Amino acid sequence: MDLLARIDKAVARAIAIGQGGTPPARLAEALHYATSPGGARIRPTILTSVALACGDDRPALTDAAAAALELIHCASLVHDDLPCFDDAEIRRGKPAVHRAYSEPLAVLTGDSLIILAFEVLARAAAEEPLRGAQLVLTLAQRSGMPGGICAGQGWESEPTVDLAAYHRSKTGALFIAATQMGAIAAGHEPEPWFELGDRIGEAFQVADDLRDAVMDEDALGKPVGQDAAHGRPSAVAELGLEGAAKRLKDILAGAIASIPSCQGEAALAQMVRMQSERIMPSAVRHLA
């Protein structure tokens, strides 16, 4: 089974838990709507790749961790799209959850996905409770306050922004969670895996800025030019297109160099290289 199929299956199993019994039907349906089709599943792919590089001795725990991380990511997209934030009409090429269902159901979908993420970890933790507790802790720290993606969004309500803290929490946090949770699921220490996640997060931030600047709405599946429209800080605004493309290439080289020594080091480096090619917009590839 390829990685993406493994992850999609883990996410589907998680959603089935949230839809069990006789739940309120529209909210149950919205949980599925918000998590599929899943796009590239980049964060759980990184998580599972790190777990595999570390031996993946508890695949059920790895799958739970991958699903939990993807649920948190999807929850953040649903809430970020709400009218009081980005007021996005489309997401992944289809109507945003609050458009397809309603605003109350979008709030509840995000809340339910967050909680389901921790439920999925707790269920898998019965087998390895110490790793389970570490997974819950790491996911919580990278999702909430003071250093997770909630904090990242929170910085947008501040009169003055700590830019480093803003980027690390808003975009970087879930990539750090990805590498560290992959290590934890396979029984390794999380600390040596911080740098890889942090650098991948930085790369995605720059890639996101590039896509927002050069792609069109149909190709991206969401509104473009949002950074310029909202006067948000961006690598393109700071370095220009060419500078940002070069910066992206450098960060990814540093990411690969940071991979801790482990049995699956070469395969993991290959995965990071593939993700790098995927995230560099083709319109700027010749500039890097």
Q: 215: how many CB neighbours lie within 10 A of its CB?
A: 18
Query: Binding segment for a second copy among 13-21, 198-206, 236-244, 268-276 (CB under 8 A)?
Result: 13-21
Q: Which is nearer to a second copy, 107 or 269 (CB)?
A: 107
Is residue 168 a contact residue for a second copy (CB under 8 A)?
Answer: no
**Which residue, 4 or 27, is less far from a second copy as judged by CB?**
27
Pick the stretch among 16-24, 56-64, 218-226, 254-262 that binds a second copy (CB under 8 A).
Answer: 16-24
Q: Look up residue 223 and give its amino acid.
A: P
Structure tokens that stand for 109 in this block: 């979908």
Residue 163 interacting with a second copy (CB under 8 A): no
Phi and psi at residue 95, in whole multiples of 5°? -55, 140
Nearer to a second copy, 148 or 281 (CB): 148
Q: By CB under 8 A, which span of 26-34, 40-48, 193-201, 219-227 interacts with a second copy?
A: 26-34
Q: Does 239 bind a second copy (CB under 8 A)?
A: no
**Closest CB to a second copy among residues 27, 237:** 27
CA distance 170 to 205: 9
The smaller minimum CB distance to a second copy, of residues 22 and 261, is found at 22
Size of the site for a second copy (CB under 8 A): 63
User: Residue numbers of the site for a second copy (CB under 8 A)?
Assistant: 18-28, 31, 75, 79, 82, 84-85, 101-105, 107-108, 110-112, 114-116, 118-119, 121-123, 125-126, 129-130, 132-134, 136-137, 139-141, 143-148, 150-151, 153-158, 162, 165
